Amino acid sequence: MRLATILALSLLITGTASASTTDAIRNANRLMQPYTGDVPGASLLVIKDGKPLLDRGYGMADLEHHVAASPATDYRLASVTKQFTAAAILLLAQDGKLKLDDSIRHWLPTLPTFTAHVTLSELLCHTGGLLDYEDLIPPDTTKQLNDNDVLRMIAATTHGYFPPGTAYRYSNTGFVLLGLVVEKASGVTLQDFLARRIFQPLHMDHTLLYVHDDTMPSKSGVPNRAYGYSETDGQWQRTDQDLTSATRGDGGIYSSIDDLAKWDAALYDDRLLSDASRKLAFSPHAKVVGEPYEASYGYGWRITGDTLWHSGESIGFRNVIVRWPKQHLTVILLSNRNDPEPYRTVLAIAEPFLH
């Protein structure tokens, strides 16, 4: 029996489950109805004061094999990955292995000379201005890009969108390059650094950075894997990978809501990141523009009012984590489908838990 179910039953038995909590859970399940049944699904976690009040899967993780989604299902996090890449950079800064005001070209010297003025800090908050690698992909490309492909494409550029530090533009390029900096500064692969310094210490035992292997395409290494789907003409089609699904620092982590509960807990104390590092991550460094939501950007986190949050979208996946640290509430929704975008759903799920 799931921990959240045991907790709910014990509260009911002891008579301490409030009607408001029961109503809030009922509201959440109602809002999750579009994910239920024989359709691509989702996993939902609601944590209040460190306790999971709702922790369950809806619908299917794998339509073809009729595998139901569960709290242990691993989804491609897409851009929710960025908070982990940012944490890796902050850990290396804590270690004295790099400085946040280092030039990206200091670490990746094949980059063009104009990037000498782009700092790691600016890449962390999307003010570096480097060109989007997605727009540089040759039209005849059929093979998935890796991080070194991105580095080569940016190495061939002659300019950015704007002088670094003068504007905001969301940049997957920046976070791919930050992942390569982690490798340079640590001396190990990005996947190994994340495993050794974040996933293993937090016992996120089913979380990993996906690394595409052409020699063993059937062995992804992702446990309890959800496959991505997109709806076309009323039918769900598997759309799990595309040309940019093999890059790492901008979106390559797979994880479950069970494991992300451990990540969320670690963000309240210094077991992983120091107080100073967490303050840097959660402080507004840039005003978000060109996106549909009012927000500032920290290091791997959007900041809106009392919330710290980030969404993640890639072909066949739509995810979001929203934290209300002052209220000790977190809601995480991971889904293996291209629609709906879950941010507003999560806000609606959270609203009754906040009262």
- Please report the domains of the chain, with CATH numbers, ordered by start residue: 74-300+313-321 (3.40.710.10)
Q: Are strands 229-232 and 75-76 parallel, antiparallel or unpaired?
A: unpaired
Hey, which residues does 329 pair with through a beta bridge? 48, 324
Hey, which residues does 208 pair with through a beta bridge? 254
How confident is the model over 253-272, as a mean pLDDT? Answer: 98
pLDDT per residue as tens digits for the range 223-238: 999 999 999 999 999 9
Residue 79 falls in the annotated catalytic set = yes
Question: Catalytic: which of 10, 43, 70, 79?
Answer: 79
The share of the chain scoring above pLDDT 70, in percent, equals 92
pLDDT per residue as tens digits for the range 277-336: 999 999 999 999 999 999 999 999 999 999 999 999 999 999 999 999 999 999 999 999
Q: At residue 71, what is the residue type? A: P
* Low-confidence winner among 13-17, 100-104, 148-152, 288-292 (lowest mean pLDDT): 13-17
SS3 44: strand
Q: What's the pLDDT at 108?
A: 98
Q: What's the pLDDT at 2?
A: 54
Instruction: Give the C-alpha separation, 143 to 242, whole Å.
Output: 9
Instruction: Give the C-alpha separation, 250 to 130, whole Å.
Output: 14
Buried b (16+ CB within 10 A) or exposed e, 250-266: bbbbbbbbbbbbbbbeb
SS3 297: strand
CA distances from 39 to 61, 65, 230, 291 (A): 9, 12, 11, 29
Q: What's the pLDDT at 268?
A: 98
Q: Tokens 């009262």 identify what position?
A: 355
Our CA angle for 137, 207, 303, nearest 5°, is 70
Q: Band the pLDDT of 244: cuts 50, 70, 90.
A: confident
pLDDT per residue as tens digits for the range 170-213: 999 999 999 999 999 999 999 999 999 999 999 999 999 999 76
Whole-number average pLDDT of the chain: 93
Q: Spell out the residues 6+ positions from residue 234 whose beta carbon is closer than 8 angstroms to its own.
A: none
Whether this prediction's pTM lies above 0.85 is answered by yes
How confident is the model over 65-78, as a mean pLDDT? Answer: 98
Q: Tokens 């460094």 identify what position?
A: 285
Q: Tokens 């997957």 identify what position?
A: 172
Instruction: Give the C-alpha separation, 327 to 301, whole Å.
Output: 18
